[in-house]
């Protein structure tokens, strides 16, 4: 696309610069061509000047394992500095970026652009370095690779989140950020695809673009010609490590949902209705005599779930959700998990020759790794030497973990905010059952067992993870 845009511009220049016979009509035509080209250029400049004040550079400092040849298990950590991009979405200092930009960081700083007067006489073309301020993580969502930061500044320039459902293939878009540390960079391209799923069962869909995205661009905004955020630049596919014109951005409607929930609650709650939705393929349609070769069929309706209580059945064909056509199973899943927990959605369903509209209550997804986050606090639930926040396995907690075998223990609710990367491979939702063979039933027992140990002592945690018991062995730091 970048080549085609250049060719179009060159064609305009060639047409305008041609030396036609002396004629007033041809002279006016050349002037109009030059004027049109200049208008396009000025519009791009105006867009950049409007967007850039809301785009920030992010400086993250943390720790990572020290690599020594082919032996990463040295037990040593080294200081790591990483950079990325972000965008201000609220004048009160809320910044959206990618989780992978700040994950594991013990210190996060944001460089805010310095406002400039574009019309000031004698203004230098070299931009001043922006103001560096500290930032705190308000919350994050691992499934979408998004994080929300907060800086102690107000009255900041910000960009509105646009409607990514209105994005179309071929639409002109612009990527802003700090690729390879080069702040205030902008690239131009088109939307290559509006809903790209990178893996068959990936819960995320992306906007694909050929606008140049490189390391350091992550977290920056993908904007439309109106200056609205239509995506957050997240990743690229590349054989060289650099941009090859295949970049992906998290759609703004997903970003809005994550941002608003984190701003309100500190974490993301996802909805579900208790079904397994599958995309209809020609083979599936022929084998089941469905009568249509596209759309969504319910492969399962979980007993006792909201969908079962609403009367939905296995084999029902879902053709719409709240009036919006459903074309594949992932689209249905994504639109349901974006619905507020406790709300009601209406599914338009075909069952044989009958067409039904079925209202279903949305409940919280039970496998969400962030579901324990609001139940803990660093003051009361921290286990410092394990770098985690834990909660006792009470009956109401056990009910939130499907297929649980353990009757007592400590549930890992989250990693500690300042946890240093180490050998303890605990994950949210794990249940710690014992320490070196001694059962632990609550946080007090877990802390006491860990605190009795000296640095370099061997520790073996028995952990239940997704219904499977396993041992995690490491040396205590």
Same domain (yes/no): 30, 57: no
237, pLDDT greater than 90: no
Same domain (yes/no): 418, 451: yes
Q: Which of residues 31 and 226 earns the better pLDDT score?
A: 226
Residue 215 lies in a domain: yes
17, pLDDT greater than 70: no
Residue 238 lies in a domain: yes
Bridge partners (DSSP) of residue 358 are 347
Same domain (yes/no): 283, 205: no
Tell me which residue of 233, 242, 144 sits closest to 189, measured CA to CA: 233
Residue 334 lies in a domain: yes
Concerning whether 145 is annotated as a catalytic residue, the answer is yes
Q: How many CA atoms lie within 13 A of 15 on its CB side?
A: 17
Q: Which of 236, 265, 294 is at the close of a domain?
A: 265
Domain of 403, CATH number, reads 2.30.42.10
Same domain (yes/no): 224, 200: yes
| 199 contacts: CB under 8 Å, gap ≥ 6 | none
pLDDT average, residue stretch 145-157: 94
The top-scoring range by mean pLDDT among 16-30, 341-355, 360-374 is: 341-355
Same domain (yes/no): 452, 408: yes
Q: Which of residues 392 and 373 earns the better pLDDT score?
A: 392
Q: Looking at residue 95, what is its pLDDT? A: 97
1, pLDDT greater than 50: no
The top-scoring range by mean pLDDT among 71-85, 195-209, 317-331, 370-384 is: 317-331
What domain range is 219 assigned to? 164-265
Task: Compute how many other C-beta atoms are within 10 angstroms of the C-beta atom of residue 122.
Answer: 4
Q: What's 276's DSSP letter? A: E
pTM (predicted TM-score): 0.70
Q: Which of 308, 331, 364 is at the close of a domain?
A: 364
Same domain (yes/no): 378, 334: no
Concerning whether 276 is annotated as a catalytic residue, the answer is no
Q: Looking at residue 66, what is its pLDDT? A: 53
Residue 312: C-alpha distances to residues 207, 299, 416 (Å): 32, 11, 42
Q: Looking at residue 396, what is its pLDDT? A: 80
Q: Looking at residue 40, what is its pLDDT? A: 83
pLDDT average, residue stretch 87-95: 96
Catalytic residue among 85, 100, 178, 217: 100
Q: What's 293's DSSP letter? A: S
Q: Looking at residue 81, what is its pLDDT? A: 78
Residue 156 lies in a domain: no
Same domain (yes/no): 415, 457: yes
Q: What is the mean pLDDT of the chain?
A: 84
Tokens at 42, concatenated: 């000025």
Task: Pick the range with the lowest mean pLDDT from 64-78, 228-242, 357-371, 454-468.
Answer: 64-78
Residue 236 lies in a domain: yes
pLDDT average, residue stretch 34-58: 88
- pLDDT > 70: percent of the chain: 83
Same domain (yes/no): 201, 223: yes
Residue 385: C-alpha distances to residues 250, 366, 380, 388, 477 (Å): 35, 28, 15, 8, 8
Same domain (yes/no): 12, 31: yes
Residue 121 lies in a domain: no
Catalytic residue among 164, 178, 185, 218: 218
* Confidence category of residue 74, pLDDT binned at 50, 70, 90: very low
Same domain (yes/no): 360, 340: yes
Q: Looking at residue 404, what is its pLDDT? A: 86
pLDDT average, residue stretch 1-22: 50
Domain of 97, CATH number, reads 2.40.10.10
pLDDT average, residue stretch 221-247: 89
Q: Which of 265, 283, 302 is at the close of a domain?
A: 265
Task: Pick the range with the lowest mean pLDDT from 52-56, 113-117, 282-286, 315-319.
Answer: 113-117
Same domain (yes/no): 195, 105: no
DSSP assignment of 376-409, as one string? Answer: --HHHHEEGGGTEEEEE--HHHHTTSTT---SS-
Q: How many structural domains does the chain have?
A: 5
Residue 158 lies in a domain: no
Q: Looking at residue 417, what is its pLDDT? A: 57
Q: Looking at residue 420, what is its pLDDT? A: 44
Q: Looking at residue 362, what is its pLDDT? A: 95
Q: Which of residues 397 and 211 earns the better pLDDT score?
A: 211
Catalytic residue among 85, 141, 145, 434: 145
Residue 124 lies in a domain: no
Spatial separation of the C-alpha atoms in residues 176 and 185, rounded to whole Å:
6
pLDDT average, residue stretch 195-224: 87
| 346 contacts: CB under 8 Å, gap ≥ 6 | 321, 322, 323, 357, 358, 359, 360
Question: 413, 376 in Cβ contact below 8 A?
Answer: yes
Q: Looking at residue 315, what is its pLDDT? A: 93
Q: What's 456's DSSP letter? A: T
Concerning whether 252 is annotated as a catalytic residue, the answer is no
Report the SS3 class of residue 219: coil
Same domain (yes/no): 253, 343: no
Q: Looking at residue 403, what is its pLDDT? A: 76
């Amino acid at each position: 696309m970048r080549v085609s845009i250049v060719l179009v511009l060159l064609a305009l220049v060639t047409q305008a610069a041609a030396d036609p016979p002396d004629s007033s009509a041809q002279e006016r035509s050349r002037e109009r061509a030059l004027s049109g080209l200049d208008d396009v250029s000025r519009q791009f400049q105006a867009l950049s000047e409007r967007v850039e004040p809301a785009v920030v550079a992010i400086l993250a400092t943390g720790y990572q394992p020290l690599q020594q040849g082919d032996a990463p298990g040295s037990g040593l950590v080294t200081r790591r500095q990483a950079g990325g991009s972000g965008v201000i979405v609220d004048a009160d200092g809320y910044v959206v970026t990618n989780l992978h930009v700040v994950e594991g960081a013990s210190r996060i700083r944001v460089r805010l652009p310095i406002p400039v007067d574009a019309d000031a006489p004698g203004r230098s073309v070299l931009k001043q370095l922006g103001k560096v301020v500290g930032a705190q993580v308000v919350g994050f969502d691992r499934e979408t690779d998004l994080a929300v930061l907060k800086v102690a500044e107000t009255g900041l320039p910000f960009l509105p989140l646009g409607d990514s459902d209105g994005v179309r293939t071929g639409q002109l878009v612009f990527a802003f950020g700090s690729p390879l540390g080069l702040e205030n960079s902008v690239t131009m391209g088109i939307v290559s695809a509006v809903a790209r799923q990178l893996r068959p069962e990936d819960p995320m869909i992306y906007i694909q673009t050929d606008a140049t995205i490189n390391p350091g661009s992550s977290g920056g905004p993908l904007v439309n010609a109106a200056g609205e955020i239509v995506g957050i630049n997240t990743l690229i596919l590349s054989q060289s490590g650099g941009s090859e014109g295949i970049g992906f951005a998290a759609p703004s409607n997903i970003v809005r949902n994550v941002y608003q929930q984190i701003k309100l609650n500190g974490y993301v709650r996802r909805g579900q209705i208790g079904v397994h939705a599958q995309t209809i393929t020609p083979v599936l349609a022929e084998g089941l005599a469905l009568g249509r070769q596209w759309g969504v069929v319910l492969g399962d309706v979980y007993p006792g779930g909201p969908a079962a209580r609403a009367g939905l059945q296995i084999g029902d064909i879902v053709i719409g959700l709240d009036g919006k056509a459903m074309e594949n199973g992932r689209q249905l899943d994504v639109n349901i998990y974006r619905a507020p927990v406790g709300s009601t959605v209406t599914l338009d369903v075909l069952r044989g020759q009958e067409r039904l509209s079925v209202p279903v209550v949305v409940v919280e997804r039970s496998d969400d790794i962030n579901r324990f986050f609001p139940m803990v606090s660093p003051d009361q639930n921290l286990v410092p030497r394990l770098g985690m926040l834990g909660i006792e396995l009470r009956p109401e907690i056990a009910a939130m973990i499907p297929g649980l075998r353990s009757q007592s223990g400590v549930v890992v609710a989250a990693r500690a905010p300042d946890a240093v990367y180490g050998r303890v491979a605990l994950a949210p939702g794990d249940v710690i059952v014992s320490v070196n063979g001694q059962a632990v039933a609550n946080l007090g027992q877990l802390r006491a067992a860990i605190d009795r140990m000296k640095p370099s002592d061997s520790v073996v945690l028995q952990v239940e993870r997704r219904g499977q018991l396993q041992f995690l062995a490491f040396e205590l730091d």
